[in-house]
Structure 1
C-alpha cells in the first residue's frame, strides 16, 4: 500500500454551506519523502512564532517548570542604572584595562543586592546565581565581586563626577543648595586598627611611600565621637552630599576620629573640581563652630547652619532678644530675620504645631521629675545625693532639676520658663546675602532629606553591619550603598511611593524557567496593573516575554 502526504486545511464555503478541503502543498509518496527538507521547513516556520511557544510545539515531550526568580526589582534598577548612564560611565573607565568585561554587570548586581536583599558579599554571590534574574550575569563567584569592588574604589572620583552631571542633566535637578551631613558606623570589635601613615584627606598612603609625605598616623576603624552612642567601639565617619530633591550626589569615608573641619576641607576641594556654579551648603548644628564656618566659606559659596539655642553664646542671646514680627510662610512656618553686629544673617523660625508638642513633652518630663523627687525631704543628705546622681544620667529630667544650698531636690521653675520661650523655635545662621529669610528657612528644612538618606542607608540598605575588615573594602562597601540609594531615590521621586512599597510590588513580577528535551527558556509572568503603573511612571518598558532561550545541542 502506497500513501501520499499532503498539507491541507479546511475552508468554509458559504454558498454550498459546507466545509471544503484545500490542499496547500503535496509532499509526494511517504516512502520517498525528503525528511531533511521537512525539518528545514518546520524550523523556518517556528521563526514566526514566540520562541517559548515554538519550543512547546516542537518538543517531543512536555516542558518541566523548574524554578521562578524575582525579576521586577532588578529590571527597574537596571533600567534606571542605564538611563542615568552609569553603565556607560563604567565602560568608559574600563577601556584599556585588563579586567573582566563583566565587571560593570557585577557592580550593578552588588548594588541591586543592597537595594533588594542586602547581604554579605558571599551571600550576594549565591543570591545573584540562584535567587534573582540579572540580565547579562547568570552567575558569579565571590572573588569576581571583590575584584569589581577594588576597581570601583579606583574609579570613584571619575565615576562620581560623571554620574553627577549625568544625573543632574537628565533629572533637571536644582543644585544651588547642596545639603551635607555626616554619620558614623561602628564595628563589633573592641580593637581599633593600628595607626598607619595617611595624607591630609585621611587616605592610606601606598606601601613604599616616603614616610615624610604622611601628615597623620591614624587607623581607619578607630574610636571617636559616635553618633550611634557607641563610643566604646571603633568606627568610621561617612559624609554625604544631597540635592534639594534628595538625590545623593557623592559620599566620602574617613577614619573614625576625623575632625569636622578636616572633612569639610576635603569635601569642598573635591566638589570644587566639578566647576559647579553658586552653591550654598546646608549643614546641621554639629557644624556651627567658627572653624567649620571658615572651612565652608573657603573658595567661595556660602552656608546655612542651624545654631544651638542652648549654647549660651552671645550671638544666640542677642538674636533671641531682638523684637520683631514673624512672617508666615508655607508649611505652617513663621520666620523673622534679626540684625545683630556680625557679618552673618540670623533667621528665627517658629512652628506653632511644634511649640505645642514641645510644651506637652516638657510637661510630661516635669511630671516624671516631680514623682521622682516627691517626699525626698525625708531622706538623708547622702540618699538625696545618690538620687540626684541617678537623675543626672537622664538628660530630659536633669534639665529641670535644681538642688538647693541645703541639698534639697526641687523642680527648677526658672528653667521651665526659659525653656518655654524656645518652644517651636530654631535659629539659623547664613552667610549668603541674596537668599530670602523664607529660602533660608525652607532650605534648612530640606536637610531632613539627608537625615532620611542616613536612615535608609542604615535600615533599607544595611550600611551596618559591614562584613569587611580591610579599609579599601569598607570604602567600596560605602560606595555600593551610595549607588543603591541613588537609584531608589530616583524611583521614589518619579513614582511618589516609598521604596519598600515599590520593592514589594516589583518582586512579585517573576521569571519562570522551563526545561525540556529541546532546551531551556525563561519567561516572565504577566505584569499586573500596579506593576505596569510603576513602569509607566518610570518610563521603563515592560520586560520581554521570553528573556532567555537555550537550545539543547
Structure 2
C-alpha cells in the first residue's frame, strides 16, 4: 500500500493504491482518491491516519501526529467539580446578588474581582467548608467558578474587609433583592439566637485587640467552659434568613432585642409581627417590640418563682377549642380594658401530654428505686448519697426533705406538674390576630431552628479560624449568605441541600490540552440535574465552556 501522484490534463491528483498479482502479473488498484494535490483534503487524511493508528505502536502514532500537526488524541489534564458551583452561580445571579454587590463596589476603587471573591467564599461554605488558606487550592484545582480561575488568600481577606465595612448596606440590598424577586412575606419575622464556640484557652480580656469578643456565656452547644460568640437571625415564615447579628459570647437574649428592633425599623418594612421564644420575654422587651406600631408573639414561662408555680393565665377557667391538627387552644385575657391588659393563648397537645406523663412516671420510678437504695447505706456514705440525690437535676425536682431529714417523693409537686402536661403558653400584643394564627405563628419557630442547625451542620460555621472581631463578623456574614441561597434552593426545588449536592456531584468539567490551547468539556447533564436547573430557572452548562482558537497556518 502506498501513496502515488498521477497527472491528468496538467493537474496532479493524490491516490492511495496497492499492488496485487493477477494472472501472473502485478496490477495497481486505487483504494482511495484524495483529490487534487493543490486542494488536498487534510481532514480526510487525518481521519484515515486515526483509523490506521489503532494498529500501530504508540511511538509510531506520536511521530505521525507530530508530522501531520494533529490534535488527536487530546491530552487529559484533569477535571473540576462543576455541578454545585454552576447551580449556586445561577441562583446568585438570578437573585441579583451579583448586581447588589457590584452596585456597592462601584463606589469603591477595587482592582480585584471582589464580587467573585465573595461568591467563591459563599460557595465554599455551601459545598466544602474550609479555611480561607485552603481555598487557594480549592479554587485553582478542585472546582470551576466562572470568572475566577484562582485566588490568593490576601485577596479573600480584603474581600472580607469590604463585606464587614458595608455590611449594613449589603444586608439591606440583599434583603430587598431577594424579597422583591421571591415576593417574601415579611409581616411575620422569627428571631432567635444560637452560639458557636472557640477551642481556645480562656477568653478574650476586655480592651485587647479582639476587644473582648470571644467570651464565656450561656452555651447552646453544650460547651459552657469555652469562649463563644452569640449569633442571631431574622427568618421569614418560609425559612429564609434575611438578617444576621453577632454579639460577644456573654450577651444574653434579654439584651439583644433593642438592637434587633432598631435595625429592622431602619428597613421600613411596614407593620411586622416578631415571633420570639421564652428566653427573650421581659416587660421591657415586650414594650420595645410594640414600638412603631409593630406587634409580637412570644413564648411564656410555664413556671414562675422559686416554687415553680404556673402563671395565672394557666389557672383561668375556659373552654378549649379543638383544631384540625389535634391541638386544643383557649384564649385568656388578663385585666381586659386596662393599660396593663395582656392576651394569652393556652395550647394543649394530647399526644405531648401522654409523652410527658410517661416520662415523669419513669423518672419518679427511678427516684423511688434510688430512695430504696439509701436504706442500705449508713453514716457519711448515706449522708453523701442523700445530698447527691436531693441535688440531682432530674430526680431532685420530685423529692422533698422531711423535718427529720429523710427524702420522700413530693406528691404535691407531681400533681402540680400533671396540670402542665402537654401545654405551652403564648402571648401576643396583637388583638386582631385570631387565636389560630397566634398558635400557627409560634409553632413556625421551627423554621429558625432549622436555620440554626444548618449553620452548624451544613455550612460548618465551626471551626472558626479567625481571632479578630472583624474577621469573625465577616465569617458569620459569609455563612449567612450561604444559608440564604441554600434555603432559597430548598424552597424552590423541594429537595434538601444534601440531596441536591448528591445529584450535582457527577457534573464535572474535563480539561484537555490541544495544540491550540485548553479545551474544557462537560459531561452530559442527567435528567435529575436538568430538573434541578429547571426548577431554579437556571440554564444548564454548555458542553464546551472554553474552545481553543486554532493557530493560523
* Residues 417 and 345 (structure 1), Cα distance of their counterparts in 2 relative to 1, 3 Å cut: same
**Shift of the alpha carbon at 1:155?**
1.5
- Helix, strand or coil: the match of 2:531? helix
Q: Does 1:66 find its partner at 2:77?
A: yes
| Deviates further, 529-538 or 543-552 | 543-552
**Shift of the alpha carbon at 1:538?**
1.7
Q: Please name the residue that 1:54 is paired with.
A: none
Q: Does 1:403 find its partner at 2:401?
A: yes
Q: Please name the residue that 1:506 is paired with.
A: 504
Correspondence for 1:437 among 435, 438, 452: 435
**Shift of the alpha carbon at 1:2?**
4.6
**Shift of the alpha carbon at 1:430?**
0.8
Q: Does 1:322 find its partner at 2:316?
A: yes
- State the distance in 2 between where 1:548 and 1:287 align: 55
Q: Does 1:524 find its partner at 2:535?
A: no
* Residues 409 and 552 (structure 1), Cα distance of their counterparts in 2 relative to 1, 3 Å cut: farther
Does the 8 A contact of 1:70 with 1:510 survive in 2?
A: yes
- CA-to-partner distance for each residue in 1:257-279, whole Å, 9 max, x for gaps? 23434421111111111111110
- State the distance in 1 between where 2:371 and 2:309 align: 36
**Shift of the alpha carbon at 1:312?**
4.2
- State the distance in 1 between where 2:426 and 2:14 align: 86
Does the 8 A contact of 1:90 with 1:104 survive in 2?
A: yes
* Residues 510 and 292 (structure 1), Cα distance of their counterparts in 2 relative to 1, 3 Å cut: same
Radius of gyration: which is bigger? 2
Does the 8 A contact of 1:328 with 1:334 survive in 2?
A: yes
Q: Please name the residue that 1:282 is paired with.
A: 275
**Shift of the alpha carbon at 1:412?**
2.0
Q: Please name the residue that 1:201 is paired with.
A: none
TM-score (norm: length of structure 2): 0.84
- State the distance in 1 between where 2:439 and 2:309 align: 18
Q: Please name the residue that 1:78 is paired with.
A: 89
- CA-to-partner distance for each residue in 1:450-505, whole Å, 9 max, x for gaps? 11111110111111211100111100000000000001101111111211111111
Q: Please name the residue that 2:411 is paired with.
A: 413
Asked which structure has the greater RCO (Cα within 8 Å, sep 6+), the reply is 1
Correspondence for 1:253 among 246, 251, 262: 246
Runs of 5+ consecutive residues of structure 1 not aligned to the other structure:
9-25, 43-56, 199-203, 205-217
- State the distance in 1 between where 2:98 and 2:89 align: 9
Correspondence for 1:224 among 217, 221, 236: 217
Correspondence for 1:335 among 320, 329, 333: 329
Does the 8 A contact of 1:384 with 1:407 survive in 2?
A: no
- State the distance in 1 between where 2:292 and 2:456 align: 33
Q: Please name the residue that 2:50 is paired with.
A: none
Correspondence for 2:258 among 262, 265, 273: 265
TM-score (norm: length of structure 1): 0.84
Q: Does 1:167 find its partner at 2:178?
A: yes
**Shift of the alpha carbon at 1:98?**
2.0
Correspondence for 2:191 among 180, 204, 210: 180
Correspondence for 2:113 among 77, 96, 102: 102
Count of aligned pairs: 499
Q: Does 1:151 find its partner at 2:162?
A: yes
Q: Please name the residue that 2:296 is paired with.
A: 303
Runs of 5+ consecutive residues of structure 2 not aligned to the other structure:
16-33, 47-67
| Deviates further, 467-476 or 186-195 | 186-195
- State the distance in 2 between where 1:459 and 1:518 align: 45
